[in-house]
Amino acid sequence: MKKIVKTEIEKLLIAGNVRDVLVYDCIESTNDCALNTGATVFARTQTKGRGRNGRSFFSGEGGLYFSIALFFEENQIRLGSGALIPFSAGRLTVSAGIAVAKALNLFGIDAKIKWVNDIYVAGKKVCGILAERRGDIAAIGIGINLNSSIPDDLASKAASLNAPIDPNVLAASVINGFFHELASPDIEFANANCITLGKTVECEKGIGVAVGIDADGALLILIGDQTERLYYGEVRFLSA
Ligand code: BTN
């Protein structure tokens, strides 16, 4: 199975989007390293892989773990092209989810987005995304179960793609795609490929039916006769 190699990934990335690229065999968390250094960071394993809401993220051999660093100028993000885009947390996460799903589609994998930003294949989670900010740096951390051995206690919910995909090509496709989406997120794609839509869900706003994703990446939930916008947080499926 191929591994992430600094010179290979650097060749595949569109110039200017990322600053330094760091590749580790093992690190605590690529998000911490990206937030501390401003580099885009890859690791073959993580000892303290972090998920959303204080959860840990399984980060064993065979997975693809990386964090893309972004730089704020006041409340805008400077893209490699030099363009400044307004910051919105929803836009960051929706762009990352779209980029991962589209990259997997390129390899013939029917990947779906579970709002806010988990990626599912055949009903199981294959990828998690965690966006964090520290000062003027944000890290978009992406963990893909590419050829991982999923522990028994996670196997009912998570799966590995187990596909002969070069991680350098997949990661470059995600990162290049992410910067493209960030400038102009393909919300139509997100709506067409989101498994949350049409489901009865429970969230901090109450119980309702998820009906769409808006231009800011917010989930639209019909609660009674009101459409509520959920910008972040978890949703729990109450219907299959
Ligand atoms: C989730 O599913 O709750 C989000 C998981 C995000 C995991 C990735 S792996 C790379 C980066 N480093 C971390 O510590 N977390 C993210």
CA 127 to ligand 1: nearest atom: 2
For ligand 1, the distance from its centroid to the CA atom of residue 225, given in whole angstroms, is 36
Distances in Å between the Cα of 214 and the Cα atoms of 30, 90, 127, 132, 220 are: 30, 10, 22, 22, 7
Query: Tens of pLDDT along 55-81?
Result: 999 999 999 999 999 999 988 998 877
Average pLDDT, the chain: 94
How far is Cα 198 from Cα 183, in angstroms, rounded to an integer?
28
212 burial type by CB count under 10 A (0-12 exposed, 13-18 middle, 19+ buried): middle
Query: Tens of pLDDT along 2-19?
Result: 999 999 999 999 988 998
Say if ligand 1 is within 6 A of residue 130 CB. yes
Looking at the chain, the whole-number percentage of residues with pLDDT higher than 70 is: 100
Query: Tens of pLDDT along 163-184?
Result: 999 999 999 999 999 999 998 8
- Contact criterion met (CB below 8 Å) for 222 and 236: no
CA 49 to ligand 1: nearest atom: 14
Is 240's pLDDT higher than 80?
Answer: no
- Our mutation pick for probing the ligand 1 site, out of 57, 64, 174, 175, counting the most ligand atoms within 8 A of Cβ, is 57
* Closest of 96, 106, 108, 144 to residue 124, by C-alpha: 144
Segment 37-54 shows an average pLDDT of 96
Strands (E), the chain: 21-27, 40-46, 64-73, 76-78, 84-86, 111-114, 118-121, 124-134, 137-144, 200-203, 206-213, 219-223, 226-230, 236-237
- Contact criterion met (CB below 8 Å) for 101 and 191: no
Q: Which residues contact 119 (CB under 8 A, 6 or more apart)?
A: 97, 100, 101, 104, 111, 112, 113, 125, 126, 127, 128, 129, 144
Q: Which residue, by CA, sits nearest to atom 11 of ligand 1?
A: 141
- pLDDT at position 88, please? 82
Q: Which residue, by CA, sits nearest to atom 15 of ligand 1?
A: 50
For ligand 1, the distance from its centroid to the CA atom of residue 158, given in whole angstroms, is 14
- pLDDT at position 81, please? 76
- pLDDT at position 78, please? 86
Query: Tens of pLDDT along 181-202?
Result: 998 899 999 999 999 999 999 9
Query: Tens of pLDDT along 73-120?
Result: 988 998 877 888 888 888 888 999 999 999 999 999 999 999 988 999
Is 234's pLDDT higher than 90?
Answer: no
Query: Treating both helix axes as pointing N-terminal to C-terminal, what angle do 167-183 and 89-106 enclose, rounded to 10 degrees?
Result: 140
For ligand 1, the distance from its centroid to the CA atom of residue 223, given in whole angstroms, is 31
Segment 195-219 shows an average pLDDT of 95
Q: Which residue, by CA, sits nearest to atom 9 of ligand 1?
A: 143
Is 239's pLDDT higher than 80?
Answer: no
5, two tokens: 């190699």
Say if ligand 1 is within 6 A of residue 120 CB. no
